[in-house]
Amino acid sequence: MAERLTINVVTSETKEWTIKVQVVDKGRPRDNLQKTNKYQLMIFQDEELRLSMPKTFVILHWSSHSLLL
């Protein structure tokens, strides 16, 4: 099972992690330059960095270089 962490301790070297975050802002979906994939920029905030309890959360899980929402 993945380790539960906060945003500030996750690095590119961290393996098998899970974070509970709020989506603060998200851009519109776009195609990459080759038009083979879509991507969407998002800004996340975890519960430690927020003063009041967020209303909605997403669970992020990182495994084998893929981000699952």
Question: Global pTM?
Answer: 0.53
Full domain range(s) for residue 26: 3-68
Check residue 50 and give its pLDDT: 53
Q: What are phi and psi of 48, to 5 degrees?
A: -75, -25
Query: What is the maximal distance between C-alpha atoms in the chain?
Result: 42
pLDDT in tens, 6-44: 877 877 788 887 888 888 888 888 888 888 888 787 777
pLDDT at 16: 81
53 vs 28, residue with greater confidence:
28
- pLDDT surpassing 70 at residue 48: yes
- In this predicted structure, the answer to whether residue 3 has a pLDDT above a threshold of 60 is yes
- Quote the number of domains for the chain: 1
